[in-house]
């Protein structure tokens, strides 16, 4: 397609006509290695100066230099590895639109979205498991608390019955609703630090993919 055109142009006026700049992958242009690139892993990097201090990004994006918490490890065709944030992967996908790298960039972005979804689900599942343990440990107290009818389609019931039914039958969204309610009760009654852990449930600590498989 374009190559024969470019070739002809180069052949005829090689010396004085500047050829259009070659299509270079943005990561390649940033000296991060040779295309194609692919995501080979990810991890969460958090930094906290001292207990109670705000949690900050614990890594920097090799492409833009911004601090990042969700770190995606990318490997180039010449086997160099570097780390980027999801924003840059999204940006690179946009930049690659209409180029030879479009498909690859889209694949990388899709893969990152898949990892994010998976991490989010795993975090919710962990939270639900902690809340289920709280419910189990405080059955009697929860049986005494009335759950307002608006949760139950018109019938007042105990929080215990509601929570147990939801944890057994509801989807993730419904289970998160139970988590909020039980965590609030737990905090009110000083049952323990279930809510404190929430910050860590934002992500899986590491969802490493097979970094060695299919190395190109
Ligand atoms: Zn970046």
Say if CB 87 and CB 93 are below 8 A apart.
no
3 state SS of 46: strand
Sequence spans of domains, the chain: 23-120, 121-197
Give per-residue pLDDT as tens, 128-175: 999 999 999 999 999 999 887 666 666 778 999 999 999 999 999 999
More confident residue, 123 or 156: 123
- CA–centroid distance, 84 to ligand 1, in Å, is 5
Residue 179: pLDDT over 50: yes
- Interval between CA 53 and ligand 1 midpoint (Å): 24
pLDDT at 92 over 90: yes
**Distance in angstroms (rounded) separating the CA atoms of residues 153 and 147:** 11
pLDDT category at 204 given cuts 50, 70, 90 is very low
How close is the Cα of 205 to the center of ligand 1, in Å? Answer: 20
Output the CA angle 173-157-161, nearest 5 degrees. Answer: 60
d(CA 175, CA 216): 42
User: Ligand 1 center to residue 5 CA distance, Å?
Assistant: 35
| Amino acid 17: pLDDT | 53
Q: How far is the CA of 66 from the centre of ligand 1 (A)?
A: 6
Ligand 1 center to 113 CA (angstroms): 16
Q: How many Å apart are CA 53 and CA 59, to the nearest integer?
A: 17
| Residue 62 banded pLDDT, cuts 50, 70, 90 | very high
Whether the pTM exceeds 0.85: the reply is: no
Arithmetic mean of pLDDT, 169-192: 93
User: 6-42, pLDDT tens digit by residue?
Assistant: 444 444 444 445 544 447 899 999 999 999 999 999 9
Look at 86-90, 102-106, 154-158 and tell me which has the smallest mean pLDDT: 154-158
The residues placing their C-beta within 5 Å of ligand 1, an ion, are: 61, 63-64, 85, 88
């Amino acid at each position: 397609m374009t190559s024969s055109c470019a070739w002809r142009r180069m052949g005829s006026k090689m010396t004085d006509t500047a050829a259009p700049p070659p299509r270079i992958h943005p990561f390649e242009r940033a000296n991060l290695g040779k295309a194609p690139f692919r995501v080979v892993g990810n991890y969460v990097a958090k930094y906290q100066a001292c207990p109670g201090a705000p949690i900050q990004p614990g890594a920097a994006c090799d492409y833009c230099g911004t601090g990042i918490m969700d770190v995606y490890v990318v490997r180039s065709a010449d086997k160099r590895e570097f780390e980027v944030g999801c924003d840059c992967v999204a940006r690179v996908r946009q930049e690659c639109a209409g180029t030879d790298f479009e498909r690859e960039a889209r694949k990388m972005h899709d893969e990152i979205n898949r990892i994010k979804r998976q991490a989010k689900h795993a975090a919710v599942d962990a939270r639900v498991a902690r809340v289920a343990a709280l419910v189990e440990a405080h059955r009697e107290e929860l049986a005494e608390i009335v759950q307002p009818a608006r949760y139950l389609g018109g019938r007042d019931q105990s929080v215990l019955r509601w929570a147990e039914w939801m944890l057994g039958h509801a989807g993730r969204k419904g289970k998160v609703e139970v988590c909020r309610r039980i965590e609030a009760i737990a905090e009110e009654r000083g049952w323990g630090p279930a809510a404190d852990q929430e910050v860590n449930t934002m992500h899986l600590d590491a969802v490493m993919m097979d970094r060695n498989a299919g190395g190109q």
